[in-house]
A and B are shown apart, each in its own frame.
Chain A
């Protein structure tokens, strides 16, 4: 039975073609005007090892002068119209997955002087028997040449339309270019092949008769060249078309084996070809079971500044702006003063705001082959020290200016200046220079082992400036109403959790309690930022909740509420070191150092909100999460809230007062905290009071904030829970005469928390 199941599963997965894919390498920067640069990293997987695959490798709109080649093509066959050898921008091959993968490891890119994106794309599919793939336009072709398949033109035209292949409807082949004509000539083993061209409507007026170009006029008169439309492909044989007998209204290619066309009448039974695909660019192909992937490298420095913000489900990212900063005179100033608004997905592209002017950042010493031993290294006890003769320095270059060196072909990288002795400048090199010590350097003739772990170089030393991009930064701002925004971030759940932590962990100092699982929670709960989480902070949280005094003092500046960290900084915050994060209140992050040698300069920044004790709107800490160079630059996430409770609201005019009733149905939850924000139109209503009907001896609050009332309850002493009888009755008096109240009040923020500290979703119905 097991064998049967295994066999069935095998057949099923084979049939469905599970798991086929093309993976792409990470982006990189190529050197300009350099041949043979490694572009490997594409890998096909999931295909059967014995299957013959069709693979297409292409450069998409490359900068002028950019080509690729494969240095290993063992077992591959070039598709029609292509050759395996040589530099090219597109290549279509057939072969096994193993052979294609081997070839892809030898993929090399040649670049010219024009900088720009170098997008490489690889597509693969199981090579379908009986079909031919044209890599120039990305279409498949199926020749029907058997005697039984041969038919009239009109039958061929109709039958083609009844077929589908890889999700595409077929059509009688069109021939619209020299290369397509050649493709047909080579791949269709027959003569007099119908293709979609006719003058059946108006004699001599030939039109393309199928496919995406259907209806395009090819020529307006019979005769080989007469009336040919400029720019439309025609390839008639001499004296053709001639409309002989008044019935030759249909075109054939390969007329009597020649590479040109003739017109014939519909009583001929000829072979024909069905074409699949309507696009002109192979990279636009939408075939099913056709697997593709691509990577965008660059030729030279093509910097991009792309950010991705995610502030959780109930915060509108489009209300946030970013501005790009660059360092100037030890200050970070806006590069263009352009505020970029995040889109609905929280994304913003600030590439055009980058300051790409490079500045000098020290010197590089280039130790090149020469005739005098101006330099040597000492390698002992795992420490490599480089010595450069002081006579090689001048007034433009001091020993301490040197931050990078290249040492023959053995090292190219950073060094740390150590000291200057009588004759030498000393630098620590973070490498054991194996090419020097094992004799594999190609400059072996310039290297002398002088004993005592010293190797001297017959060399010259040249210095040049190290030019780098200015350090950048990003500043975040918001057009949100901060009071309203913050009320949705710091809610009764946060306050309750803070109370639980204080009561479990001690009321004094920075003791670790039982409720907070993360140092970030302590940091966020330390409202006054004094490095201690204690009862004073919970009191401030409570004041904020009840509207007595707001966190941040009602400031409209985002920097009073948010903290940004690099991912590593954020992940390193623990329960024992969080208090070192005091006074880190910043809505901007600097420096973001742009690399000189990589294409993608993305940074992972995490954000956290002061008072967000339950981390419902702050980034989650992760040690093994997103890598430092991830596309995801900033991550703020929301804890999922899966537990619902019900509440309802109803308002009416009663005795010249406007009464709003909010009632609660906790269902199965042991609710200990609630929070509602009831907005009201203060030009038409005047707040009077809130009456509470609550069980469990809670602390109830109902604070008028001018345009809204913050209402709720909080039980922090373990003395009970809120039940179904809970009701908040808010009374307003009308300003002027009103006859009804629909929309005069509305609820915008709700929150609730249960006895376990779990945040609950309030469903208002």
Chain B
């Protein structure tokens, strides 16, 4: 009986889930429709554009207002999917800003990177 208990304990311990935070699955929700999102490196972000054209996505440090990264891209009308990379970014709290070619704000939300 003791052996059974011991083996059960070993199995139980062996099967204990490791405390590693899983990478959240990509959200298909429009990222600009929520106030803030926690993202991991390489995570997909989704957003809608009403017309095709040239847009920019900008990451701004919330603490000091400085732009830390900006990408210019050609967007398509309707749903757009982009990845967001965080390994090179030192700030934890950022604004994600979507603007069109005239620098008109299309969407803005908060990103938490760590």
Residues on A facing B (Cβ under 8 Å): 484, 648-652, 679-681, 683-684, 707, 738-748, 750, 763-765
CB proximity of A487 to chain B, nearest CB, Å: 12
Give the distance to chain B from A528, nearest Cβ to Cβ, in Å. 31
Closest Cβ–Cβ distance, residue A222 to chain B (whole Å): 58
Interface bits B73-86 vs A (CB < 8 Å: 1, else 0): 10000000011111
Q: Which of B66, B82, B87, B90 is close to A742, meaning CB atoms less than 8 Å apart?
A: B82
Residues of A near B68 (CB, < 8 A) are 746-748, 764
Q: From A648, A650, A684, give the contact of B85 (CB < 8 A).
A: A684
Q: Give 22 pairs: A residue, B residue, CB < 8 Å, sorted on A.
A: A484-B90, A648-B70, A649-B67, A649-B70, A651-B70, A652-B71, A652-B72, A680-B88, A707-B88, A739-B83, A740-B71, A742-B69, A742-B84, A743-B85, A743-B89, A745-B69, A746-B59, A746-B68, A746-B89, A746-B90, A747-B66, A748-B90
Cβ of B3 to closest chain A Cβ, rounded Å: 44
The answer to whether A679 and B82 touch across the interface, beta carbons within 8 angstroms, is: no
Flag if A650 contacts B72 (CB, 8 Å).
yes
The reply to whether B69 and A743 contact each other, CB–CB distance below 8 Å, is: yes
B71 and A746 contact, CB distance less than 8 A:
no
Bound CA span A679–B86, Å: 11
Q: How far is the CA of A679 from the CA of B69 in the complex (A)?
A: 10
Beta-carbon contact of B66 and A746 below 8 Å:
no
Does chain A have a CB within 8 A of B56? yes
- In the complex the two chains form, what is the Cα distance from A740 to B87 in whole Å? 15
Given contacts A484-B90, A740-B71, A743-B86, 15 further A-B contacts (CB under 8 A): A651-B71, A680-B88, A683-B87, A740-B73, A741-B71, A741-B85, A742-B57, A742-B69, A743-B41, A744-B69, A746-B68, A746-B69, A748-B68, A750-B66, A764-B67
Residues of B within 8 A of A651 (CB): 69-72
Question: For A650, what are the chain B residues with a Cβ–Cβ distance below 8 Å?
Answer: 56, 70-72
Once the chains bind, are A679 and B67 in contact (CB under 8 Å)? no
Instruction: Assess whether A743 is in contact with B90, with CB atoms less than 8 Å apart.
Output: no
With contact pairs A650-B56, A748-B90 given, residues A743 and B84 touching in the complex (Cβ less than 8 Å): yes
Q: Which residues of B contact A707 (CB under 8 A)?
A: 88
Number of chain B interface residues as a range? 20 to 34
* Cβ contact of A740, chosen from B83, B86, B90, cutoff 8 A: B83
> Residue A747 contacts which of B57, B69, B73 (CB distance < 8 angstroms)?
B69
Nearest Cβ in chain B — how far from A202, in angstroms? 49
Cα distance, A681 to B88, chains bound together (Å): 5
**Given the interface contacts A740-B82, A743-B84, A746-B89, does A763 sit within 8 Å of B72 by beta carbon?**
no
Q: Which residue in chain A gives the minimum CB-CB distance to B111?
A: A743
Query: Which residues in A have their C-beta under 8 angstroms from that of B85?
Result: 681, 684, 741-744
The CA of A742 and the CA of B95, in the complex, are separated in Å by: 13
Grouping DSSP codes into helix (H, G, I), strand (E, B) and loop, the B interface class, with mixed when no group exceeds half, is: strand
Q: How far is the CA of A748 from the CA of B94 in the complex (A)?
A: 13
Q: A648 to B83, alpha carbons, bound, how many Å?
A: 22
A6 to B6, CA, bound (A): 92
CB distance from B84 to the nearest CB of A (A): 5
Give the residues from 54 to 70 in chain B that come closer than 8 angstroms, CB to CB, to chain A. Answer: 56-57, 59, 66-70
What's the minimum C-beta distance from B41 to chain A, rounded to whole angstroms?
8
- Which residues on B sit within 8 Å (CB–CB) of A648? 67, 70
Q: Select one of B56, B72, B73, B88 contacting A743, CB under 8 A.
A: B88
Shortest distance between the CB of A141 and any CB in chain B (Å): 49
Identify the 3 closest CB pairs spanning chains A and B, nearest first: A743-B85, A679-B88, A746-B68
Q: A740 to B15, alpha carbons, bound, how many Å? A: 39
Per the bound structure, the CA–CA distance linking A661 and B82 in Å amounts to 21
The closest CB in chain B to the CB of A659 belongs to: B72
B59 partner, pick from A739, A743, A765, beta carbons under 8 A? A743
How near does chain A come to B40, taking the closest CB pair, in angstroms?
11
**Nearest A-chain residue to B73, judged by Cβ:** A740
Query: Which residues of the other chain, B, contact A739 by a CB distance below 8 angstroms?
Result: 82-83
Distance, CA A651 to CA B82, complexed state (A): 14
A746 and B88 in contact, given A650-B56, A739-B83 (Cβ under 8 angstroms): yes
Chain B residues whose CB sits within 8 angstroms of the CB of A680 once the complex forms:
88
Identity of the chain A residue whose Cβ is nearest the Cβ of B80 in the assembled complex: A740
Contact residues in A for B71 (Cβ distance below 8 Å): 650-652, 740-742
Complex Cα spacing A747 to B69, Å: 7
Task: Select the residue from B56, B85, B86 with max chain A CB neighbours within 10 A.
Answer: B85
Q: Which residues of chain B are near A649, meaning CB under 8 Å?
A: 67, 69-70
Q: How far is the CA of A753 from the CA of B90 in the complex (A)?
A: 24
Nearest-neighbour CB distance to chain A for B92, whole angstroms, equals 11
The CA-CA distance from A312 to B70 in the complex, in Å, is 28
In the complex, how many angstroms separate the beta carbon of B87 from the nearest chain A beta carbon?
A: 4
Q: B66: nearest residue on chain A (CB-CB)?
A: A764
Q: Are A652 and B73 interface neighbours, CB within 8 A?
A: yes
Query: Which of A738, A740, A742 is the most central at the interface, judged by chain B CB atoms within 10 Å of its CB?
Result: A742
Q: B93 to chain A: closest CB distance in Å?
A: 14
Residues of B close to A738: CB separation below 8 A: 83
Which residues of chain B come closer than 8 Å to A742, judged between CB atoms? 57, 59, 69, 71, 82-85
Q: Which residues of B contact A747 (CB under 8 A)?
A: 66-69
Chain A residues, CB < 8 A from B57: 742
CA distance A739 to B80 in the complex (A): 12
Nearest Cβ distance between residue A452 and chain B, in whole angstroms?
76
CB-based nearest A residue for B90: A748
CB distance from A695 to the nearest CB of B (A): 24
Assembled-state Cα–Cα distance A742/B82 (Å): 8
Min distance, Cβ B43 to any Cβ of chain A, angstroms: 10
For A679, the chain B residues whose CB sits under 8 A away are: 88-90
Q: Report the minimum CB–CB distance from A654 to chain B (whole Å).
A: 10
Give the residue name and chain of the B residue nearest to A685 (CB): B88
Residue numbers in B under 8 Å from A744 (CB-CB): 69, 85, 88
Q: Which A residues touch B56, using CB under 8 A?
A: 650
Residue among A650, A679, A738, A744 having the largest count of chain B Cβ atoms under 10 Å: A744
**Cβ-closest chain A residue relative to B96:** A742
Assembled-state Cα–Cα distance A681/B42 (Å): 11
Query: Once the chains are docked, how many angstroms separate the CA of A744 from the CA of B56?
Result: 15
Cβ contacts under 8 Å, A748 to chain B: 68, 90
Residue of A nearest to B85 (CB): A743
**Considering only CB atoms, which chain B residue lies closest to A744 in the complex?**
B85
Report how far A427 CA is from B86 CA in the complex, Å.
Answer: 71
A651–B85 Cα gap in the complex (Å)?
Answer: 14
Q: A750 to B72: give the CA distance in the assembly, Å.
A: 22
Q: Which residue of B lies closest to A763 (CB)?
A: B66
Bound-state CA distance A648–B87 (Å) is: 21
- Chain A residues contacting B82 (CB-CB under 8 Å) are 739-740, 742
Hey, which chain A residues are within 8 Å of B86, CB to CB? 743
Q: Which residues of A have CB within 8 Å of B90?
A: 484, 679, 746, 748
How near does chain A come to B46, taking the closest CB pair, in angstroms? Answer: 13
Complexed CA–CA distance, A669 and B66 (Å): 20
